[in-house]
Structure 1
């Protein structure tokens, strides 16, 4: 009986050693998970927004394609945003808290990169180093709101 039990343990150990390690989530999966955790409660699971309350994030890809837009996006995620903005012809007035205190640079980059892909943009993806450089430009949510690039 003791031999049979120890044989089961050895057999189980051999099977466990042969199994592949659990896969790490891809960058896209990590971005989607971070978006769902940090952003979806307001902007919706698909980033379509909540009409009249929280804007859709459909312009992220366009903003990510310009220097001013990239600085704006980096600052929005880190510092937050306040004031009036217009998205898709609809006005939104409100406040979005920044994520700097609650997230690491890698998580903010993953969220922005997921949104770039989600919007099918060909804009370059963000790196944590780029976010560090761009986040320092706009220091308050009101500054971020005023810096939103025009169409």
Structure 2
């Protein structure tokens, strides 16, 4: 009896063992990766404001600057750009009917303690700013920003957008934080803020 024609192939190896070949990384891909690395490092070295607060190698103290001035580690203008401009806009004009303006605001240009209170606890509810009523919510920054940072951003706003109010010190913010005690609830609109003014 004869074997089927394919029977010899069934017992043999199907394919030869694979061999590892030397395939180097394409030089163009390596050049792109090196270029991106150099660009990334130089970008952060040329823009020190992008380094997170407290990560600076200089370890400087909390010097308050109202707007990007040299010599300070707390830049109110930078804090405004990252924390406030999305609502109040880069021009400080706000959005009509939605977010109140900071430019010409009686709250911004008024009592420094009130500005500190607003930044520390935020606001929920109605507030009238430059004759227009807004009913929204402003987040609290007391748990995320230091006294020096709050003073810096408040001072920046009080000296920008046509405002000419004096700067706020970190000591003023610290005193207001202490006076608030354990309170964490936001202010219930402009009426409650007015009742707190002395």
TM over 0.5: yes
Higher relative CO (CA 8 A, sep ≥ 6), structure 1 or 2?
1
> Paired residue for 2:93?
48
Gaps spanning 5+ residues in structure 1: where? 1-21
Give 3-state SS (helix, strand or coil) of 1:51's partner. coil
Q: 1:126 aligns with which of 144, 149, 168?
A: 168
Are positions 1:116 and 2:161 aligned together? no
> Paired residue for 2:131?
89
Summarize deviations over 1:40-67 as a string: whole Å, max 9, x none.
111111111011111011245x44665x
Are positions 1:104 and 2:143 aligned together? no
Are positions 1:147 and 2:193 aligned together? yes
C-alpha distance 58-121 of structure 1, shift in aligned 2 (>3 A): closer
Say whether the 8 Å CA contact 2:159–2:166 is kept in structure 1.
no
Give 3-state SS (helix, strand or coil) of 2:137's partner. strand
Summarize deviations over 1:103-147 as a string: whole Å, max 9, x none.
111111111111111044443311111111123445432356411
C-alpha distance 118-98 of structure 1, shift in aligned 2 (>3 A): same
Distance in 2 between residues matched to 1:83 and 1:144, nearest whole Å: 4
C-alpha distance 148-24 of structure 1, shift in aligned 2 (>3 A): farther
C-alpha distance 52-106 of structure 1, shift in aligned 2 (>3 A): same
Distance in 1 between residues matched to 2:128 and 2:79, nearest whole Å: 25
Q: Which moved more, 1:22-31 or 1:137-146?
A: 22-31
Q: 1:32 aligns with which of 77, 94, 102?
A: 77
Give 3-state SS (helix, strand or coil) of 2:135's partner. strand
Summarize deviations over 1:69-111 as a string: whole Å, max 9, x none.
2221101111111110111221100111111122111111111
> Paired residue for 1:57?
102
Aligned length: 126
Q: Which structure shows the bigger proportion of residues in helix conformation?
A: 1
Distance in 2 between residues matched to 1:100 and 1:124, nearest whole Å: 21
Gaps spanning 5+ residues in structure 2: where? 1-45, 50-63, 69-74
